[in-house]
Structure 1
């Protein structure tokens, strides 16, 4: 129990080394930014879990956070890397299932150790679906982060409700909420009034819905030729991110009913740099909305396809930001509700102090408590073994990846790296090109 931790000497200095294990570009952004929030200037070791969405060099460059070392790994290779145990803090920036698997793997690998890294799990964005499922897969880490007051209350209630310790939950904020406040006086003077549509890979998911949004963005640009309309994209066609994108907007551009106007542009790069020039942020439910609101940028969360849980825009009920393209075309500029912002972690002054204090308290222990995932073989005998096997572990948390834990020489590493790149390319080709084509043929 975290409130019963013994502490025989003063808290340690801030962490000197933080390791982040991430399985996609967005989770790397979350984990790396969190590490910098915990201890600016600390040594940052990056590990990228080999899989469907392992980030590319371009995606990593777009995030813009340099690590002191980086390595693409399987779960077995990660557990065997001695530098992991040298870290003061380990951030598992992973989807729930792989996070649970790694917690079991770490619990097995570190059994009996008095000193080990403080293990942190959390969420990349807003939590609006499968809250209990994802949360219990993260229980067992030393710290489970909640990005808002609302989430912290929900998390603690759910964890206590299943008989686990809610003390692991620590409230922070999304770590990439940063940047200078919006200056409305610049619009029309030093630059055009700029509307940024923050696209998402899977909200909405259908081709017709995504084409509709692109048509509306182009229509807004035609209706307001004095404005600049940016479509902010997360990835290039063929790249994977946290969610699969079947119908990239780049490919849909050629299907617009009219040629795109000159003041409509696709935009890549760091979201913060785009927000520096944005006067109105438009999205379905992207966390870019929270980044914009943190900077006091007027923000519209679209209702064109309804306010629905599967879109995620229901999260913004009460925010004052819900609006349609029709309203935006007519000049409506939503105004955010301050009380909603306060409860949803957008306007917190110092959201990392409690986290830093909890880390210091854990690191000051002479004997660290063992990692105890909520799911055990006896508690979830029909669920846990299959989940662990799916992520490459046996029921005791021992990696099954004999290939990944095999040869360590330079030739073996080169072979593994080449095979991974080929497999990832093959997956992306199938997911991004072949599968959408098959679906289109099925619609003929």
Structure 2
């Protein structure tokens, strides 16, 4: 194909030339990952816009600092799922890259079903991808995202687990593809230019969740700094005190440090930082965490990485994900000269680091072409039985509307006003009666 001057048109070879992609997230890391994936479409001719689903009552769900740190400089409006689905921002998109938590996924697909997008001339192809490694509640999370047109998995074993569960209850799993962690920075490791070794500990807000565990982590990094005076020891905080995240920090390490450092002073080579993770990995001689996705990124870039083993191996801590990696170590054994011990077969086969965007790009191209040929919107994938039986969905929606499906626990909270007063009065009456007899 050529332009008016007879020169070959470079855009004609791009699969998504003229298409519009919406990068949709919730919190900062989700928006960043959605943006990284959307840029893959942009490289093939698409235009990209951003939005976020409202997931917090706080006014500033996404701070400017968080967005800039994630490489997002565009405007990111924050909308409820219902408002988003009704907006031109959503309706005019050809592809929506949704990197959202399970609750927001249910809100989004319930809103799509309520809007009956299948009756439109066209609708967005909705892709759901993960912001990082899937640590807990795997099947619940997968089922929450099952109505997506394309459902991306980090590794084949996760896709297989979903397919097996889907087959048991009759969910169509043909939308499931393996892409790996598309949001990872995969630049080759560069030598540290200043020659001074650096160990970086990447904090997670609620892993571990207990104060004493987090104090132990912090004490271990302080001890490492004192043992290695020629090494910079950096603690990468997940978010600042006035910022929100998917899991807000209960015991902020910067706060806990005041208690520990009061006993012996702060080592000059120890510091807290909010620098973006990719920049910190550029400097790191050793990356340390409990179970953060950044560990997979570090391993894939050939950076020596250690998973803290002090609290054992468990699903609750997410350390079970890294079994087989060869990277577990106790805090007391950390040193800046530790070798790269990651097992290649685990990194390439199970970690999600071996990403391949082609299954996603190819599937979206197929679906868009099918919708173009059809001349009307593709049917929406059904909510049942992924969200429960049709009978249950009908009952729940009739009783409490969408909230009864995507967040049924909220239906059990006492309502303010007379309902709240009645609930309190009932509790007082029960308390006066004393404990039940056995």
TM-score (norm 2): 0.81
Identify if the C-alpha distance between structure 1 residues 382 and 324 changes in structure 2 by more than 3 Å, giving closer, same or farther: farther
1:280–1:298 CA contact under 8 A, matched in 2: yes
Across the two proteins, how many residue pairs are aligned to each other?
380
Among residues 295, 299, 307, which one is paired with 1:301 in the alignment? Answer: 307
Q: Give 3-state SS (helix, strand or coil) of 2:65's partner.
A: helix
Among residues 97, 117, 127, which one is paired with 1:120 in the alignment? Answer: 127
Distance in structure 2 (CA, Å) of the matches to 1:111 and 1:376: 21
Structure with the larger RCO, 1 or 2 (CA within 8 Å, 6+ apart): 1
Equivalent positions of 1:26-425 (< 5 A) are 26-40=29-43, 42-52=46-56, 54-67=61-74, 69-109=75-115, 110-183=117-190, 186=191, 190-256=194-260, 257-329=263-335, 332-333=338-339, 335-348=341-354, 351-365=356-370, 366=374, 367=376, 368-373=378-383, 374-375=386-387, 378-381=390-393, 385=397, 388-389=402-403
Query: Per-residue CA shift, 1:76-130, capped at 9, x if unaligned?
Result: 3212211211111112222112211211211231131242111011322212321
Query: Per-residue CA shift, 1:228-269, capped at 9, x if unaligned?
Result: 111011211131111121111111121113212011111112
Q: Which range moves more in the overlay, 103-112 or 69-78?
A: 69-78
Identify if the C-alpha distance between structure 1 residues 126 and 329 changes in structure 2 by more than 3 Å, giving closer, same or farther: same
Once the 2 structures are TM-superposed, how far is the Cα of residue 284 of structure 1 from its aligned partner?
A: 0.3
When the two chains are superposed, the root-mean-square deviation of aligned CA atoms in Å is 2.5
1:180–1:295 CA contact under 8 A, matched in 2: yes
Once the 2 structures are TM-superposed, how far is the Cα of residue 393 of structure 1 from its aligned partner?
A: 10
Q: Which range moves more in the overlay, 35-44 or 286-295?
A: 35-44
Distance in structure 2 (CA, Å) of the matches to 1:323 and 1:19: 41
Identify if the C-alpha distance between structure 1 residues 375 and 108 changes in structure 2 by more than 3 Å, giving closer, same or farther: same
Identify if the C-alpha distance between structure 1 residues 391 and 131 changes in structure 2 by more than 3 Å, giving closer, same or farther: same
Once the 2 structures are TM-superposed, how far is the Cα of residue 388 of structure 1 from its aligned partner?
A: 2.1
Which residue matches 1:397?
Answer: none
TM-score (norm 1): 0.79
Identify if the C-alpha distance between structure 1 residues 11 and 296 changes in structure 2 by more than 3 Å, giving closer, same or farther: closer
Structure 1 residue runs without a partner (length 5+): 1-9, 395-444
Once the 2 structures are TM-superposed, how far is the Cα of residue 37 of structure 1 from its aligned partner?
A: 2.6
Q: Which range moves more in the overlay, 327-336 or 89-98?
A: 327-336
Identify if the C-alpha distance between structure 1 residues 315 and 35 changes in structure 2 by more than 3 Å, giving closer, same or farther: same
Query: Per-residue CA shift, 1:369-394, capped at 9, x if unaligned?
Result: 32322326625349853582268999
Distance in structure 1 (CA, Å) of the matches to 2:108 and 2:183: 25
Query: Per-residue CA shift, 1:339-373, capped at 9, x if unaligned?
Result: 1011125553x601111110000001124232322
